[in-house]
Structures are given as structure tokens and as C-alpha cells.
Structure 1
Amino acid sequence: MILEAQPEDIDEVYSLWRILLDHHQGHHQVFRYKAGSEQALKSELLTRIKEKNTRVFVYQHNDEWVGMLMASLRASSAGFKLAHKGYIAETVLKEAFRGSGIGKELFEAARKWLIDQGADHIELQVSVHNHAGIRFWESLGFSPSTHHLVLTLK
């Protein structure tokens, strides 16, 4: 069953987000978090849950939270043909539920909400080392539009 996470769900949402964060620790420095940063990370996540133009969709299976997908609407310049960007972030499923169709269900819930909000396209980023994630998003029709590069300055 798909639900929209509420502020009081922070602990459950955070435990799903940690699965995603932990999965990406070896991918690149931009994904690494500091030891002892649980409160700061929860605060960031809570801010996102409360944002007016953001929804955190979660999948509950037999009272267990097994997946989540965060979607937001972001305005672009009115000068572009695609000026109402839907953005998907923080998508994760517990390993035992991957390949079950739940990810697609979460995406469809987010896609419907974004369309209802006026989005004319959806963007996302996926780690270049997350080959399963890339295949998943491509299977839903996503294709590359840019090559996101990072330069660490420290």
C-alpha cells in the first residue's frame, strides 16, 4: 500500500533513507555522511517532508515500511518549453523487495501527483555506479540529458 509520509513518520522514513545512503557510500564522496550526524540528517529529511511542493511516497507491506520515493515540483524559467519540472530523489527499496514491482508503483504514484501539480517533465539523478538503478529508470522511459560532473575542492 502506498502512503504519503507525514512528519510523525520521520523515524521510519529515516531508516529507509539510511539504506539508500549506506548503499551509496562507496560510489562517490558526495554521498558520504559524517559519523554522528543522525540528528542533522533527520532534520534535513523532516524539512523535505514538510515542503509544500514535495511528497514522500512510502510503500507499506504488512505494516513494514519497505520503500520510498521523494518527488517535488520545481519551477524552471518560463522561457523554456519544459518549464514545470518534476524531480524524483531519494528512491529506495529494501533489498528483499527489489524487482517486485513496488518501485514502479511508487514511481506511478509520484508521476500522477506531479502531473496533477502541473509538471511537464520529470528529472532525476542516479549514481553512475548504481547500474541496477540506471536500468530501472531506463525501463520506465528515462534517458540521459546531461552528464553531471563533480569536483571536490577540499
Structure 2
Amino acid sequence: MNATQTTVRPVAPADKAAIAQLWQALTDYHVALDPRLPAATPGAAERYADRLVERRDDPMTCVYVAEIDGQVIGYILGAIIDLYADLFEHSNVGFIADVFVEPAFRRQGIARQLVDRVNAWLVEQGIRHTEWQVAAANTGGIRFWEAVGGLATMVRMQMPLAPSEE
């Protein structure tokens, strides 16, 4: 299959189960990349999916799914945020919180379609740039974000304060 057969549309209540599965796969993927990243708690995937569907009418949030032949195979969550509004000059920015495409459908332009859709929505809202985070160990993700025009501006670091429990 290729990306030309992909439909990108706003999330719908019927997408909850698919979103939950995709989000769980995303969190599992991150933990497999780097065990320092947090694992999901029991029931978190369902709560996450509920929250995404609840936010579909939020004017500061957008959630899209990618589907092929009626099967949801990816999603993206974008939002308008103002970091530290009381400390820095006001500047609304776009923020991509999550984007995930099932492994069998990767490298077909689907994630790019999802990002393009969120970016188009952000531009319609008057937003001038988008930000996101990517796991340092996610080299494929880093290459993807660089390919869509991402530029590193900050590096998030972590320092253990106690020995690992493992």
C-alpha cells in the first residue's frame, strides 16, 4: 500500500479502541528504545484515547487519524500552547505531542501527511512554528523530524540520582 490510499481525517468516537492500541504501541516502543522512559500504567491507553476524543472540539487542540481501507493505522495530536505565559513574552506555538504510524505502514509518507495536516491547522490558527520532543534513542524519529524541517533548539537531559532498581 502507499500513502496515496491513505485518508487523514479528524478523530471520531469510533476511533477510541484504535487510538488506545496505537498509543500503547507508542509507549511500548519508547520503553524498548530506552528503559528510562516511562511505561504506561494499567488502563492508561483507554484513558488517553478517551481524552483525545473528548478534545476533538477543543479549539486549542487537533487530533487526526490516518486510515487505509477503514482501518486506523496512525494518529497525531497537536495543540496550541503558550509556555510559561507569565514569565516570557507571549508567544503561542504549535506543539505536536504524539505522532505514531503502525510499523507495517511506515516509510510511505503517512506520518508526513499527519504532520502536514496538523501544521496546516496551526497555520490557519495564526501559529508561526511547531515544536515537539523526540526520544534521544529514536534515531529513526530524529531523521524523520529533520526530513520534515525540524531544527534542534533544546536538548532535554536526565541524570539518575539513585542506583537503578533493576
TM-score greater than 0.5 by the shorter chain:
yes
Shift of 1:44: 3.2
**Counterparts of 1:84 and 1:6, CA distance in 2:** 26
Report the counterpart of residue 40 of structure 2 in structure 1.
33
Identify unmatched segments of 5+ residues in structure 2: 1-6
Count of aligned positions: 150
2:104 alignment partner, SS class: helix
Partner SS for 2:108: coil
**Corresponding residue to 1:16 among 5, 22, 25:** 22
Question: For residue 130 of structure 1, what is the aligned residue in structure 2?
Answer: 138
**Residue 43 of structure 2 corresponds to residue 43 of structure 1:** no
Unaligned residue ranges in structure 1 (runs of 5+): none
Question: 2: distance between equivalents of 1:91 and 1:49?
Answer: 15
Query: Could you tell me how far apart the structure 2 residues matched to 1:23 and 1:89 are?
Result: 15
Structure possessing the higher radius of gyration over alpha carbons: 2
Q: Give the 3 Å change call, closer, same or farther, for CA 41–66 of structure 1 in structure 2.
A: closer
Instruction: Write the mapping of 1:80-99 to structure 2, written as runs, cut at 5 A.
Output: 80=89, 83-99=91-107
Partner SS, residue 17 of structure 1: helix
Task: Give yes or no for contact 1:56–1:69 (8 Å, CA) kept in 2.
Answer: yes
TM-score normalised by L of structure 1: 0.86
CA RMSD of aligned residues (A): 2.0
**SS in structure 2 opposite 1:25?**
helix
Please give the secondary structure, in 2, of the residue aligned with 1:127. Answer: coil
Cα contact 2:24–2:40 (8 A) shared by 1: no
CA distance 1:54–1:28, change in 2 (3 Å): farther
Map 1:62-77 → 2, pairs under 5 A = 62-76=69-83, 77=85
CA drift at 1:120: 1.5
Judged with a 3 Å threshold, the aligned counterparts in structure 2 of structure 1 residues 94 and 44 are, in CA distance, closer, same or farther, namely: closer
Q: What is the percentage of aligned positions where both structures have the same residue?
A: 25
Query: Following the alignment from structure 1 to structure 2, what is the Cα–Cα distance between the partners of residues 133 and 80?
Result: 31
Deviation at 1:31, TM superposition (A): 2.8
